Amino acid sequence: MSAKTKFLLIFLLPSLIFLGIFTYYPIFISVKYSLTRYNMLSPKPVFIGIQNYIKLFKNPVFWQVLKNNIIYGLGVIPTTMLLALFFAILINETKRFKALFELGLFYPLLIPMTAAAMIWVFMYDPDLGIIDKFLGLFGIPNIGWLGDARYSLLALIIMAIWKNVGYFMLIYLAGLQNIPDYLYEEATIEGAGWLKKHLYVTWPLIGPTNIFVFIISIIQSFKVFTQVYLMTEGGPGYSSNVLIYYTYEHAFKFWNIGMASALTTIMILFLLLLVLIIFGVFEKRITYSVG
Amino acid sequence: MMNRNFKIYLGVGLMALYCLFPIYFLVLYSFEPSEAAYHSPPVFYPIAFTFSNYTGVFKSIPLARYALNSIIVATSATFLTLLFGSMAAYGVSVLKFRGRDLFLNSLILLGFFPAATMIFPIYKMFSDINLLNNYLALILPYTVGGLPLTTWVMATYFENIPKDLLDAASVDGLSIGGTYAKIMIPLSLPALSTVAILDFIAFWNEFIYALTFMPDSNMRTVTVGISLISGRFTYQYPWGQIIAAALMVTIPLVIMVFVAQEKIISGLTAGAVKG
């Protein structure tokens, strides 16, 4: 073995060991347990083939949870992206107080999700909450967001938009710097107003940033857990339950490890597929650099 | 022109209101007695002033102990992830080898996986080897969680360091390890500190692992700790305390923002995209 190879091994080994123990091995374990009956009544895993998966696919709750995840994504992603782009354009055209505005959008991102969740529970409260009190000023009766199956998922969506807009705004702001000024000048000479200028210059040229933000958002929308755990516990009923929370419930509430592992495996396969598609389609367009 | 500028400022003002109002509202209520929450119509300006919420937090939960736990865990994990991440990045970017793209891509791929998907297998592993309620139970998985971003960013940074410098180092008789420690690391301090801040924030704010792997009440981190201040029903919640605690746990992060806002922003927007 050459000296170079030896060094290479030493440099990569720590990462490989860590990934092996905390990523590859857990994936292997999940797949293994997903094929077993392993719960409170059967404390030792017993091989049962794909029965857990069959049971899951036959369970309407599983489909509802999946649907919730998709609704959550559809609710959060386009709104956040549009708002973030709009804010980025505005900030880009502002001369004074730029840093202050940036910080303002940035703060929600820094707050731990736990703290943000507690705060929003307070704001959504039907009796004490600022939101229902505010709507009350316009004669709208109390909604009681988190306690109402019709609004609980929407409440989580609104909060997620609030928390994420700042991050995406920063990414768009960086993207806007790459659009040359002369294009805007030409557009102005051609007589384009504010809206037209951004529709015909900004929108097509911000495309690559859009793709990047879109990818991050999709993956983020599957990571949602903390706010569900703290704000709604997936309820009322299953109205705001999402995949990760549903898996967590199976593992740590119902102690049904076989089923939790099947859910984990499904999620891993799904995300793997998603990421592979994304990489296949967009790989050449994404690079990573720090200024 | 005046008219247009006015519209832009109106837009920006609305946006700032949207983002800053919740924060204003929190700071305000953290200094108001808990009854303030029951006012109708709601109070938008200070009426009373009290520190009792802040002092009350320390009576309800051992916040100082939680903060110590968080600092130990987040600092250690940040250090480890920087060390291993930069080593791997060096291996990938400087020592070209076959399979390097595969290594880097699989690392990035894993970065997209939510930590929560791995939670049960890791829990089982830790409980089998009695590692629950040990700082390592968080430090080790956090380190793994930080590796993809750290390695990715550092590898890109290393590749932009002029090759002449490395050639000169090897002419001067520095070994591969010596080049890493004496040249690469000092040269990449800007990138390292950016990643360090991002990693630290992520570890400080992490919830699901901290909740699951540290069931002992003395071992909780601040993010889990503050979620424990509550009553049986919402109307019994000590809202003033919850809000004061929520604000206090963001203090280290706010200090970081003041010290290194530019760095954090450049790090968060690191996903630069080619046209």
Whether the per-residue pLDDT at B274 is higher than 70: the answer is no
Q: By C-alpha distance, which of A122, A119, A114 is closest to B249?
A: A114
Interface of A with B in 177-216 (CB under 8 A): 178, 194, 205, 208-209, 211-212, 216
Do residue B116 and residue A162 have CB atoms under 8 angstroms apart? Answer: no
Q: By C-alpha distance, which of A96, A240, A129 is closest to B243?
A: A129
Interface of A with B in 63-92 (CB under 8 A): 86-87, 90-91
ipTM above 0.90, yes or no: no
CA gyration radius, chain A: 24
Do residue B105 and residue A279 have CB atoms under 8 angstroms apart? Answer: yes
Do residue A287 and residue B270 have CB atoms under 8 angstroms apart? Answer: no
Do residue A288 and residue B153 have CB atoms under 8 angstroms apart? Answer: yes
pLDDT digits (tens, 9 = 90+) for B197-207: 888 888 988 98
């490890």: which residue's tokens? A257
Give the pLDDT of residue B272.
42
Domains belonging to chain A, first-starting first, are: 59-285 (1.10.3720.10)
Domains belonging to chain B, first-starting first, are: 2-53 (no CATH), 61-228 (1.10.3720.10)
Sort residue A24 into left (φ over 0), alpha (ψ -120 to 50) or beta. alpha
Per-10-residue mean pLDDT of chain A, 291 residues long, equals 76 87 88 87 82 89 92 93 87 73 73 83 79 78 81 91 84 79 80 78 78 81 87 84 90 88 90 78 52 34
Give the pLDDT of residue A291.
34
Residue B194's closest chain A neighbor by CA?
A290
Among A19, A223, A284, select the one facing B144 at the smallest CB separation. Answer: A19
Q: What b/e string do you get for B196-214 counting C-beta neighbours within 10 Å, with b at 16 or more?
A: bbbbbbbbbbbbbbbbbbb
| DSSP letter (8 states) at residue A252 | I
Residue A102's closest chain B neighbor by CA?
B16
A197-201, long-range: CB < 8 A, 24+ apart: A198/A89
Alpha-carbon gap, residue B229 to B239, rounded angstroms? 9
Interface test with B, best of A2, A9, A12, A109 (most B CBs within 10 A): A12
pLDDT digits (tens, 9 = 90+) for A182-216: 888 888 887 777 777 888 778 877 777 787 788 77
